[in-house]
Amino acid sequence: MRGGRVQVIDLHKSYAEVPAVRGISLDIPEGEFFSLLGPSGCGKTTTLRMIAGFETPNSGEILIDGADVSRVAANDRPVNTVFQNYALFPFLSVEDNVAFGLRYQKVSKAESKRKVGEALEMVRMGQYAKRRPGQLSGGQQQRVALARAIVLGPRVLLLDEPLGALDAKLRKTLQIELKSLQESLGITFIYVTHDQEEALTMSDRLAVMAGGLVEQVGTPSEVYDSPATAYVADFLGSANILDVEVVGPAGHGRSTVRLGGQTLTCRGDASTDTAVKLVIRPERLTLESTGEEGGAIDASIARIVYQGPTTDIHVRLTTGEELVVRRPSERAGHHAVGESVTVHCRADSLQLLPPGALG
């Protein structure tokens, strides 16, 4: 099997004059695990359904390996789809479910049996070939759905929140399995999810969507560490997003800003005396001296929220702003509400949002 390159060019889709997708463009190389990430109603599933052929765009192009498939029937596209509800036939055995699509291809019984066996082994379900879906757990049913999709040898596999119905622990296990399967097959995966952890864990690259538009495309680290907009910073992980005043340039793509009565150095360029937003990830702040370039701000602890392995310490600056500092729980136990502390901020942990990215 090999992956297919998918290009989405200025794609639009509306329902009864209500826009769902408003001119998005994406270029997904062959063999990439690409995620569409965003909340309900952002247009990610509509985009996936248009690539699959279940919806017809109002305008724009969908290219697979250079061929426009925008008006090609779903069953004639080199893609297959895995749904959240699995859509298995309850009256068929596991192996018959997986073999179902091969009935419509010119495949001998011996070849079909071989392909089904290989697909089931790939997802570690070979020993359950004779069972019915009702005799399987949710995670096992999901593996069967994957086998049924990959047995047809699609160049692109579309996955519409396939782990959404599973419990948290099983989701984590299957995230690793899915990524491993994709790497071994070389198929292009396009994965729809509202779960940021899923997107960060599995994706080679991801697109964060909102309101039918793509806010940012990049690797998980690029999107997390250097969000292009306040929306991306807030949606992808926890973030302190604060209004600050630019004091001046600091050279090498950095600026100085005023926060909590202190002057801090941060990444990004902006004009002096401009009101902009600063993004600070909670885990990048400390309550001890780091000895690194950046700055320190006096504060007091307003609230402590225990979250198992980590603890969020909410601190209030002397100027009234609040920050969240995330610490390993074993290092947070000695702090108390009302305690005066100093928050230390490294320059490379502070990201100034570019002009026009405040929405």
Tell me the per-residue pLDDT of 17-75, one tens digit each, with 9 for 90 and over.
Answer: 899 999 999 999 999 999 999 999 999 999 999 999 999 999 999 999 999 999 999 98
How many domains is the chain built from? 2
Residue 111's SS3 state is helix
* Cβ atoms 47, 11 nearer than 8 A: yes
Tell me the pTM. 0.89
Task: Examine the fold and report which residue of 188, 207, 233 is the final residue of a domain before the chain moves on.
Answer: 233
Task: Examine the fold and report which residue of 205, 233, 261 is the final residue of a domain before the chain moves on.
Answer: 233
Q: Which two tokens stand for residue 304?
A: 């402590």
CA–CA separation, 108 and 301 (whole Å): 70
- In this predicted model, what pLDDT tens digit does every residue of 266-313 receive, in sequence order? 998 887 777 788 999 999 998 864 445 557 888 999 999 999 999 999
Domain hosting residue 315, numbered range: 238-352
DSSP 117-179: HHHHHHTT-GGGTTS-GGGS-HHHHHHHHHHHHHTT--SEEEEESTTTTS-HHHHHHHHHHHH
Query: What percent of the chain has a predicted confidence (pLDDT) above 90?
Result: 58
Whether residue 246 has pLDDT greater than 70: yes
- In this predicted model, what pLDDT tens digit does every residue of 311-348 receive, in sequence order? 999 999 988 999 999 999 988 878 889 988 899 888 88
Domain identity same for 30 and 94:
yes
Task: Examine the fold and report which residue of 194, 214, 233 is the final residue of a domain before the chain moves on.
Answer: 233
| Mean pLDDT value across residues 110-133 | 92
Domain identity same for 194 and 291:
no
